[in-house]
Amino acid sequence: MREVPRAAPDPTGQLRKADATEHRRAVAAALGRTAGSELMEIPQDVPSADRERVTAAAMQAGVRYIWGAALPRDVRGGRRGGIDLLVKADTGYVPVLVVRHKVTDPGTGARTSPLSHPLPGGARVDPLRKVRPQPRDQLRLAHAQRQLQAAGFAAAGRSYGGVVGMDGDVVVWHDLEAPTWPGGRTALAEYDSRFSDRLAVATAAATGADPLARPSRIVECRSCPWWPVCEVDLRSARDVSLVVRGEDAVALRKAGVSTVDDLAALDPVGKQVTPLVGMLYSDAVILARAWLRDLTVVRRAPSMDVPRADVEVDVDMESFGDLGAYMWGCWLSGADVGEEHGYRAFATWEPLPCDDEARSFAEFWSWLTGVRLRARARGLTFRAYCYNELAENRWLLGSAERFRGRPGIPTVAQVREFISSDSWVDLFGIVQEQFLCAHGKGLKTIAPVAGFSWRDPEAGGENSMRWYRDAVGMDGAPPDPVQRRRLLEYNEDDVRATHALREWMTSDAMAGLPFAGDL
């Protein structure tokens, strides 16, 4: 497969990697200011074998902090790799990972130590943070721990690993031997199981033995460079994972249901050939039949139930990773409440995170609340709509929490009252309840069925991250007003799309849409 063409690297993914590298450099600089001569950095521009030798020599010498470590290769175990930071404890080294994502949430219970003292022995229960599990981080730490153990440099006793997250101020410590995984498993046990499985798969492939793995579609396929290879095989075989993903596809194959055709031939209301966890058994069968007919959307019910109101506002939020929400866009329609109908945006163009985000959020909340109150005063019903409330709710609550006490910022209780009321409607939830979607339930998939199209052919959440960087001059170039306009247009189309989708779902067009019962 070495010569097989693969998908080009995702530009947004490449930018995220660059941001992560910059974040690690900032953390290294902060640690260096407190550690001074006790911090040794392994050169990154030399062959990996040389880096491994230098790292091993540094551990042998007992260097307290080793940055950019290339751990000694575990030839017997089949492991190689590195870790951002090794910290010397009394009896050996512990691994510390530096990542550019959140590793805690507001709460209590996480065990943390300050970056100036990154040792598990100095950890205390944090009254302000609770652990965000992040399985990927724990598995990376487990890999490094197994390498340290194989090389004889791991600290004695219980296995711990640390993570420095986006905030970069503390180390969050994970007990890799605690039963925190499903079924009471530990991070080390989970890692060992997964690693031995992958090693067996790779060994079989390298030696020409019978393959131990086969293509099967999962969520991550969307960004995998090998997807063009797997997609050809899966479509040629009409593989069942094209309709059901993950463990459900595995379970169906074990039950002898390997293709979409096999699944479509089952009785949707008869005895199940195997339990499914990702969707209802009957839905899976109907989806397979819809897929065979190339139907994007099928109605679950004879008639649709979509809450409507006299005054309606479509809302879409734009965020940049975990750094903040820089735009709240709204589309006002319906009865007159003294506001011009159409689109308006509340945005900040200062690079996130920034204080100006509080100002834009306060203006958005004030406007939305004003429309809601004026509708009520005129005896009119009001509803606001979004598509997948998880994102909007996260930043509504998070913004109220982060900027509490500032002018125009609502209390968390006020936000909770709004998002739990009948005035806040998640159209994604309605689509999920009332449609079966053979090719996904994303807005970019469903709205075109309703006749809506985005003006920008590259419209999408991933691309908008790249546009945002240029719009605010994040990479050192002057802020680009063209990209700002592009983001505003993209956001406007998103709220117009939810409005068009709702209008379509409550129109006579539903009568012509295939009904699941007919399949």
Neighbours of 196 (CB within 10 A): 12
Nearest Cα residue to 302 out of 3, 125, 517: 517
pLDDT (0 to 100) of residue 406: 95
pLDDT (0 to 100) of residue 148: 97
CATH fold label, 311-512: Nucleotidyltransferase; domain 5 (3.30.420)
Cα 382 from Cα 339, distance rounded (Å)? 14
Cα 84 from Cα 79, distance rounded (Å)? 17
Tokens of 2: 């070495």
Cα 89 from Cα 64, distance rounded (Å)? 8
Nearest Cα residue to 239 out of 288, 301, 275, 176: 288
Q: What is the pLDDT of residues 383-419, one digit of tens each?
A: 999 999 999 999 999 999 999 999 999 999 999 999 9
pTM of the model: 0.75
List b or e across 283-292, with b for residues whose CB sees 16 or more CB atoms inside 10 angstroms: bbbbbbbbbb
pLDDT (0 to 100) of residue 304: 83
pLDDT (0 to 100) of residue 94: 97
Cα 433 from Cα 460, distance rounded (Å)? 24
Enumerate the domain spans of the chain: 11-195, 219-294, 311-512
With the CA atoms of 182, 186, 188 and 190 taken in that order, what torsion angle do they form, in degrees rounded to the nearest 10?
-20
pLDDT (0 to 100) of residue 177: 96
On whether the CB atoms of residues 299 and 514 are closer than 8 A, the answer is: yes
Cα 212 from Cα 201, distance rounded (Å)? 5
pLDDT (0 to 100) of residue 317: 97
pLDDT (0 to 100) of residue 121: 85
| Strands in 73-197 per DSSP E | 82-88, 93-98, 104-106, 111-114, 124-125, 129-131, 160-164, 170-175
pLDDT (0 to 100) of residue 69: 96
Regions of the chain with pLDDT less than 50: none
Percent of the chain with pLDDT over 70: 100
pLDDT (0 to 100) of residue 394: 93
Tokens of 38: 């006790």
pLDDT (0 to 100) of residue 511: 84
Q: What is the pLDDT of residues 152-197, one digit of tens each?
A: 999 999 999 999 998 889 999 999 999 999 999 999 999 999 999 9
